[in-house]
Amino acid sequence: MEVANTIDSVRELVKAARSAGKKIGFVPTMGALHIGHISLIEAAVKKCDFVIVSIFVNPTQFGPGEDYKKYPRPLEDDLEICRNAGVDVVFAPAQEQMYPSENVTWVNVEKLTEPLCGRSRPGHFRGVTTVCAKLFNIVAPDVVFFGAKDAQQAIVIKRMVEDLNMPLEIVVCPTIRESDGLAVSSRNKYLTEEEKKDATLIYKSLEKCREMIEAGTTDIGTITAEMRTILSQSPAIEVEYVSIVDVEILQSIDHITGKVLAVVAVRIGQTRLIDNIVVDIEQQ
């Protein structure tokens, strides 16, 4: 496995792989790799011939007062995980490589970035789409892998790729969960044991949502009220949003029809956690 720290070096490595006729798979990450990332790498290894993982804690997607500074950066452990998972190249640029001067060019996906996390984290998606556009230009992958846990991110990036005619395929892989249902996330590292227990209420609320939809409840207000009741079982949980939205355009809906996305964002202590499920009544 090669570790490339510069844009020129990663481009050289990709160029050689491409001239050898290899299909390039790419997993963009901010490091602190866990089984969720490993599942993305495995999907990339299965579908592609040459796999690149980027590790870059992107400052432009963090708001003031967010966890940019304390975001975990266990680079050596991450490299070991990549090595064991069959990655060909890790691209781990310094901030000066990615943003050598003040950034004045931004990629902004409108509408889809306004609700949900876009409301509580202004500028977040602009940072994500800008860094992804830069990474896609640097790596020039054929296929890029994202996790379904960050549902809004995956939808926004898919739309950016479509609208800007980027010649690549986006694959969204299923959320990986602990045995108690908690979605695996790099930010789970911030949780105390007690907070981890509280956090299991997030998936419990989503399961309740699925159960109610499957039992025929169609009124969104009734379902989200039940979900909030479950979350309120822990006084440590501060709900940011509990919502059921259209799975394509993320707009609020009044009644369940077809395929919907149920989404939850909460704060537990200092930690912000998100999770979601897709429920498709037509598939029942």
Binding site for ligand PAF (CB under 6 A): 28-30, 58, 61, 128, 131-132, 150, 153
Q: Is 124 among the residues known to form the active site? A: no
State which residue, 152 or 234, has the beta carbon closest to ligand PAF.
152
162, with CB counted inside 10 A (0-12, 13-18, 19+), is exposed
Catalytic option among 34, 37, 124, 255: 37
Minimum distance, C-beta of residue 51 to ligand PAF, in the bound complex (Å): 15
State which residue, 60 or 243, has the beta carbon closest to ligand PAF.
60
Minimum distance, C-beta of residue 57 to ligand PAF, in the bound complex (Å): 8
Contacts 24+ apart (CB under 8 A), 246-249: 247/278, 248/155, 249/111, 249/112
Rounded Cα gap, residues 272 and 135, in angstroms: 26
Rounded Cα gap, residues 140 and 134, in angstroms: 10
Q: In what order do the strands lie in the sheet containing 237-246?
A: 237-246, 259-268, 271-280
State which residue, 153 or 234, has the beta carbon closest to ligand PAF.
153
The H or E element that residue 46 is part of is helix 35-47
State which residue, 162 or 211, has the beta carbon closest to ligand PAF.
162
User: What are the residue numbers of the active site?
Assistant: 37
